[in-house]
Structure 1
Amino acid sequence: MKKERVKLTGAEKSELFAEGVVTVILLLLLNLSIIILIHLAILQDQSLVNGIYFLKKTMTFAGGYHLWSWQNIFIILMGIGDLVVLYWRLIRRYHQMQLRHVISELHYIASGHFDHRINFRVRPELQRVVDSINSLVDSTVNSINEERAIEQSKDELITNVSHDIRTPLTSIIGYLGLLKSGVASPEDQQKYINIAYTKAEQMKSLANDLFEYTTLKSTNTKLNLNSLHIYSMLEQVAAGFELEAEKKGIEIEIEARPKDLTIQADAEKLVRVYNNLISNAFKYGIGATKIKLIANLVNKREVELRVENNGAPIPKDSQKKIFERFYRVETSRNTKTGGTGLGLSITKSVVDLHHGTIRCQSDKNWTSFIIRLPLDPKKAKSKR
């Protein structure tokens, strides 16, 4: 936004005009006093008069012109000095008015109008203060918004955890109640036991994910970095999902360029990233027939890891939100897919620990999770 100069009020313009008038009057009185004193001093000293007359006669300019009357020269010099003094007093008063405007704007912001900014141009020294104030207000607003977001996130965390725990717990209590009452047949008893066990496993999965998520978010979490052969890791990960992929009719492909690509990483945590992304593809990649695990060396510092599936695309408005904890693309918080809503949050936390980035890209052909990791997280950390 283009900044404009401070707009003076009518009272301030009158104040500035009065300052100019008073200054001019004082300068005229001062000039008159000086001229009278000098004139008296010259008249009382005949040698000074003779010296001035001699100087005027002897000093000539081009064309034979002599020095002009000393009174006129002196008056011109005093006039120039008066203009300098007048300008200095007016500009000083104007700067004081600018400062008053800045203070007024600052009080307005301090009264709770944090969406307001000081948006006019002032002298360079004061402009730096104004820019600092605007930056401070921006920082304060960001901190307030972050604090509100944290509070809201805590409330959502409590609500979501309560919901995800209460749903299977209600089922467990209900089925155990039926078993306790003794009204169920032996066949139904086994059925109820199986359902209660499945619900208990869901609760255990949620508890484990919550523990892992909070652990990864802790500042004390450290990576166990070792040399990791990417292609071998991808083979092991794919082998772990071979039976499930076969049941769903999904083919898992592996690519690594170069094939001997090796990075420094925490193997256990990176495997968890792949497990989460592949499980996510199984659960939500409806209609998928292929999952690709791709690793490419980008440059001498970075590697790109991609997990892609050709299933149903993720809506654009959800692609940036899916890494938030408990966020699900589904409109309701059903658990038919078996997810806790923490898998992708855990994935992002692991990538962040490696000083990398992750993003989602989805269209009608492919849904891709693209990860950029440094070849050595220690070197990447030292450069930040």
Structure 2
Amino acid sequence: MVTKLKNLIINDSKAKFILLLLLFLLISILFEAVYDLNNNFFYNINYYYKEFTIPYFYFFGTPLHLSKVELEFVCIGVILSSFLLIVLCFILYKKNKQTKVKFLENVISLFSKVKIELTLILILILLILRFHAFTSNKMFYNTNLIIYNFIIISIVYIIYENIKYNNYNLKDMSITYVFFSNLLSVYNRKTINKKLAIVFLISIVMQAIIQNMVLIFFMYIYYAEAIAIVILFTLVNTVFHLYIYNFLSAKFNYINNISKNVKNIENGDLKYKLEVIGNDEISDLSKSINNITDGLENAVDSSIKNERMKTELITNVSHDLKTPLTSILSYVDMLKNNDFDKETVNDYINILDKKSQRLKLLIDDIFEASKLSSGDVEFNITKTDIRELLIQSIVEFEDKIQNSNLDFIIETPEHAVFTMIDGKKTWRVFENLICNILKYSMPNTRVYIDMFIKEENIILTFKNISNDKLNLKPEELVERFRRGDVSRKTDGSGLGLSIAQNIIELENADMEIIIDADLFKVMLTFRRVN
């Protein structure tokens, strides 16, 4: 039974909270009882109440009439019993110290946001109210005083726990420290915070002088009350000024921090980000500066990428144009300097025709890609059955598909599917994607072309297994002159995906490339219309 009771008291958060409140109450009672014994029995009662009984309302209970001797014994009994109970509660509290009380932790956390000067003012107000209750109460009628003692002790305990919560760092808990550190700092002579601190100090001193003049005027009438009220108002006024200063100082420090850190951006560190504090115009300024640096960083990255692409463009164009041109020049030179029979001449002419067509196709692709990139292309956007357009595109390549050793699996809705596109341009997209599949797919594998409707969107997917290892990122594949085979063994300009993406974007649709090992997938998303 004792063990269960012990475990109940030690491991229960409610028990710890009740023990703490009881400890504060007993300390309050002990203080008042000791005060009564020391001041009333040793002084006043011995002189005024030698023979009379005293109306008695000692702390709690109903009024009684006790003699001096009886009252003295009661007072001593209260002192001894409260002291013993305090010791007992303290021992139990220490054993229960590790138990967490959520309500108490929330109160301490709440007070951690309040500067220590405000809590000290609260204690001062309670002391003034207690003094007023002390002067107006009858002797031994101490209930109000005990309540004030209890509240003051509770606040002092919370302050102490709050100081522990902040690792005994009083600097962060005090607004006075910030004020005087800015006022006395030799490094802040020209800063706004220094000037602001001086202005606030003058204001505090002037108001203190005025309040002391009021004290001099009223001190002859209500001496004690006037002193207490003036001290209270002086402290409240000072803390009020310090709070305003602390708020403004934090904002000025934030502005100063932005000003200093912007120099990092000025020096070219575009990856530097300003700290965003709060939710006001200054924090919006920090966000805007961060957005500007993001834009500048993207612009610089884009510029570097464009320069790299220009270099690659020149290299790739030179290579792709040089190869057919060299072949054409070689065959022309052979035809000019040699006397071949008619059959050989015809073979060479056929080769020249193929090389010329290859060169023409490459030049046409370069010209088309250039126009699409600049946006200098007219689109005839009309309501189009994209399902029918896809089927026509596949039928157009039927012979090549049958000769490709690829198994095409096509899934589309049974009904017409309409969207707003340029039919000819979108047909070119399908043509480029199907050509890529025929060129770069691993032989004897399946190719999946699917169309389905998802909410208000039409989604087309083209999936195939690549014959070559895909070591490129999806975004790199849509760069100009990029090919799926790095060795460039296949015919093609490397512009197909780039042209397709530009067309899709200009039609306000989306194109996404997904690479999963050797699986290559292109997903087109169009807006459905009725």
Structure 2 length-normalised TM: 0.56
Is this contact kept in 2: 1:102–1:118, CA < 8 A? yes
Q: Does 1:274 align with 2:430?
A: yes
Comparing 171-180 with 78-87, which one deviates more in the overlay? 78-87
Partner letter of residue 242 of structure 1? Answer: E
1:273-352 residue pairs with structure 2 within 5 A?
A: 273-299=429-455, 301-309=456-464, 312=467, 315=470, 317-332=472-487, 334=488, 336-352=489-505
Q: Does the 8 Å contact 1:230/1:263 carry over to 2?
A: yes
CA, structure 1 residues 32+270, in 2 after alignment: closer, same or farther (shift >3 Å)? Answer: closer
Unaligned 5+ segments in structure 1 are 1-6, 43-47, 57-66, 380-384
Residue equivalent to 1:177 = 333
- Counterpart residue number, 1:358: 511
The separation in 1 between residues aligned to 2:383 and 2:207, in whole angstroms, is 88
Letter paired with 1:147 = S
Which residue does 2:233 correspond to in 1?
77
Deviations 1:106-140 (A, max 9, x none): 12221222222223647844322222222221122
Q: Which residue is 1:45 aligned to? A: none
The answer to whether 1:164 aligns with 2:317 is: no
- Corresponding residue for residue 310 of structure 2: 154
Aligned to 1:375, the other structure's residue is in SS state: strand
Letter in 1 for 2:481: F
Pick closer, same or farther for the CA change 1:21–1:343 going to 2, 3 Å. closer
Give the aligned partner of residue 4 of structure 1. none
The separation in 1 between residues aligned to 2:522 and 2:205, in whole angstroms, is 83
8 A contact 1:356–1:373 mirrored in 2: yes
Equivalence map 1:185-224=2 (5 Å): 186-224=342-380
Counterpart for residue 50 of structure 2: none
Instruction: Verify the 8 A CA contact 2:204 2:241 in the aligned structure 1.
Output: no
Distance 1:353 1:275 in 2: 17
1:324-344: CA deviations, max 9, x gaps? 221112223x3x421110111
Is the CA contact (8 Å cut-off) linking 1:252 and 1:291 kept in structure 2? Answer: yes
> Aligned partners of 1:105, 1:263: CA distance in 2, in Å?
50
Give the corresponding residue for 2:524: 371
Q: Secondary structure at the match of 1:321?
A: helix
Hey, what does 2:290 align to over in structure 1? 134
Matched, 1:245 2:375: no
1:224 deviates by 1.9
Q: Deviations over 1:86-124 (max 9, x none)?
A: 444455445434332221111222122222222364784
Could you tell me how far apart the structure 2 residues matched to 1:289 and 1:69 are? 98
Q: Deviation at 1:195?
A: 2.4
CA contact (8 A) 1:289 1:311 kept: no
CA distance in 2: counterparts of 1:190 and 1:118, whole angstroms? 72
2: CA distance, partners of 1:191 / 1:212: 31
Question: Matched residue of 1:264: which SS?
Answer: strand
CA contact (8 A) 2:429 2:503 kept: yes
1:285-306, Cα deviation, whole Å (9 max, x unpaired): 121454444322223x221223
Deviations 1:264-319 (A, max 9, x none): 332212221221111111111121454444322223x2212233445647636444
Secondary structure of the corresponding residue to residue 307 of structure 1: strand
Q: What whole-Å deviation, never above 9, does each CA across 1:113-168 have from its counterpart, x for those lacking one?
A: 22222236478443222222222211221122222222332332222222211111
Q: Distance in 2 between matches of 1:81 and 1:29?
A: 10
Higher deviation after alignment, 314-323 or 260-269: 314-323
TM-score scaled by length of structure 1: 0.75
The alpha-carbon deviation at position 203 of structure 1 amounts to 0.8
**How many Å separate the matches in 2 of 1:367 and 1:325?**
18
Q: Give the drift of 1:30.
A: 4.2
Structure 2 partner of 1:261: 417
CA contact (8 A) 1:288 1:311 kept: no
Q: Which moved more, 1:100-109 or 1:78-87?
A: 78-87
CA distance in 2, matches of 1:228, 1:279: 23
More moved, 200-209 vs 73-82: 73-82
Aligned to 2:169: none
Structure 1 residue corresponding to 2:260, chosen from 101, 104, 110: 104
Q: Quick check: 365-374 or 136-145, which moved more?
A: 365-374
Q: Which residue of 1 aligns with 2:382?
A: 226
How many residues align structurally?
345
| In structure 2, C-alpha distance between the alignment counterparts of 1:13 and 1:171, rounded to whole Å | 86
Q: Would the aligned equivalents of 1:328 and 1:341 in 2 still touch at CA under 8 Å? A: yes
Q: For 1:353 and 1:14, how far apart are their aligned partners in 2?
A: 61
Structure holding more helix per residue: 2
1:184 positional shift:
5.1
SS of 2:403 mapped into structure 1: helix
Q: Say if 2:514 and 2:521, in contact at 8 Å, map to a contact too.
A: yes
Distance in 1, matches of 2:180 and 2:230, equals 33
Aligned-residue identity in percent: 25
Letter in 1 for 2:432: N
CA 1:374–1:313: 2 relative to 1, 3 Å: farther
CA distance in 2, matches of 1:38, 1:137: 58
Which one-letter code corresponds to 1:349 in the other structure?
N
Structure 2 counterpart of 1:344, one-letter code? L
Distance in 2, Cα, partners of 1:365 & 1:128: 46
Gap runs ≥5 in structure 2: 1-171, 173-178, 186-193
Cα–Cα, structure 1 residues 173 and 105, in superposed 2: closer, same or farther, change >3 Å? Answer: same
